[in-house]
């Protein structure tokens, strides 16, 4: 449950007396709920209310190039995103997109520093259902626009034929079992650590846990070469490399854009591409993707 404040606490938070709080509820839309006769105020909504009612908001320093024909995307890597960037570059005569592989959290932090226009992320939140909002709220000064790029199936790639007969993450505790991993700050690493914890397995006890590779495809190639018995990655990698796959969940892979950058020419051109048949055809050619919500804004529940 989100943290709540009482009337006295919110008055102190806003620097007004308690009578003024009631006026702000009635006249200015201060977020509040009445429970058993008492007013309660969700802290995160009060903070958003203050932000939305701010004037003379300080301008974000313009660290990105002042032109609009280069689109910089940074964050979590994905084969379909790579193909979409290539499609964008081949279809645009006066714009180009480039990608920096920083992991999901690294992408959001780059967005905060104005080092990129778009961050790609799939960070699962504490509730296990929602993605990215909790991390964006923590890292960024203002909540960004969130657009879904795709949904994709996350799990573990295994050698073809599954020779070790792996049925669940519990099998990772077998003696001599070797995995390959993803770096801290990636959504895939966050999910793996979450699953290991739920299974009661300490990651450092698993052989190969400290062998971190930068991309999903690198993980797949390590398993394909026989240097690991399993690795966390998305199903499209297994499909492209002819590997077996142990599914964990379908996840939401989003694009995050600051509100001041959302209507930049290159950003809008890239987002509009997600609604085009050419993009849909790219996804249809690889198992493990769902693009039914691609290009649509996602809102926090």
Contacts of 69 (CB under 8 A, 6+ apart): 94, 95, 96, 265, 266
Segment 193-227, tens digit of pLDDT? 999 999 999 999 999 999 999 999 999 999 999 99
If you classify domain 154-250 with CATH, what class do you get?
A: alpha beta
Q: Which two tokens stand for residue 262?
A: 């959302």
CA geometry: angle 77, 79, 82, nearest 5 deg: 80
Q: Where in the chain is the domain with CATH 3.40.190.10?
A: 70-150+253-290, 154-250
Calculate the alpha carbon distances from 152 to 139, 149, 161, 286 in Å.
25, 10, 22, 11
Nearest to 101 by CA among 182, 43, 195: 182
Cβ–Cβ under 8 Å, residues 41 and 25:
no
The domain made up of 70-150+253-290 has a fold known as D-Maltodextrin-Binding Protein; domain 2 (3.40.190)
Nearest to 290 by CA among 256, 241, 250: 250
pTM score of the predicted model: 0.77
Segment 55-66, tens digit of pLDDT? 555 555 556 665
* 3-class SS string, 232-271: EEEHHHHHHHCCEEEEEEEEEEEEEECCCCCCCHHHHHHH
Nearest to 118 by CA among 250, 274, 233: 274
The domain made up of 4-52 has a fold known as Multidrug-efflux Transporter Regulator; Chain: A; Domain 2 (1.10.1660)
Other Cβ atoms less than 10 A from the Cβ of 299: the count is 8
How far from chain centre, in Å, is Cα 76? 8
Rounded Cα distance, 146 and 68, in Å: 20
Q: What are phi and psi of 110, to 5 degrees?
A: -65, -35
> How confident is the prediction along the chain (301 residues), in pLDDT tens digits per residue?
568 889 999 888 888 888 888 888 888 888 888 888 888 988 888 887 787 666 555 555 556 665 568 899 999 999 999 999 999 999 998 899 999 999 999 999 999 999 999 999 999 998 788 999 999 999 998 999 999 999 999 999 999 999 999 999 999 999 999 999 999 999 999 999 999 999 999 999 999 999 999 999 999 999 999 999 999 999 999 999 999 999 999 999 999 999 989 988 899 999 999 999 999 999 998 999 999 999 999 988 7
């Amino acid at each position: 449950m989100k943290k709540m404040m009482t009337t006295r606490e919110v008055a102190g938070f806003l620097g007004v007396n308690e009578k003024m709080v009631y006026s702000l509820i009635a006249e200015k839309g201060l977020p509040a709920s009445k429970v058993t006769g008492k007013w309660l105020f969700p802290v995160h909504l009060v903070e958003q209310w203050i932000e939305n009612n701010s004037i003379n908001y300080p301008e974000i320093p313009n660290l990105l190039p002042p032109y609009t024909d280069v689109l910089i995307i940074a964050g979590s890597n994905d084969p379909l995103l790579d193909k979409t960037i290539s499609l964008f570059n081949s279809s645009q005569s006066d714009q180009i997109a480039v990608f920096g592989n920083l992991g999901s959290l690294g992408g959001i932090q780059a967005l905060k520093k104005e080092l990129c226009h778009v961050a790609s992320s799939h960070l699962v939140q504490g509730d296990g259902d929602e993605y990215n909002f909790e991390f964006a709220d923590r890292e960024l000064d203002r909540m960004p626009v969130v657009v879904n790029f795709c949904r994709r199936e996350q799990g573990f790639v295994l050698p073809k034929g599954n020779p070790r007969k792996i049925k669940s993450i519990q099998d990772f505790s077998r003696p001599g079992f070797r995995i390959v991993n993803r770096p801290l700050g990636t959504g895939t690493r966050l999910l793996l650590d979450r699953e290991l914890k739920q299974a009661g397995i300490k990651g450092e006890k698993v052989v190969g846990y400290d062998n971190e590779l930068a991309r999903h495809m690198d993980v797949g190639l390590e398993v394909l070469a026989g240097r690991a018995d399993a690795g966390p990655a998305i199903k499209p990698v297994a499909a492209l490399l002819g590997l077996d796959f142990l599914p964990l969940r379908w996840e939401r892979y989003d694009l995050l854009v600051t509100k001041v950058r959302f209507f930049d020419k290159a950003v809008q051109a890239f987002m509009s591409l997600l609604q085009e048949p050419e993009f849909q055809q790219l996804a249809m050619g690889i198992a493990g993707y769902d693009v039914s919500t691609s290009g649509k804004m996602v809102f926090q529940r």
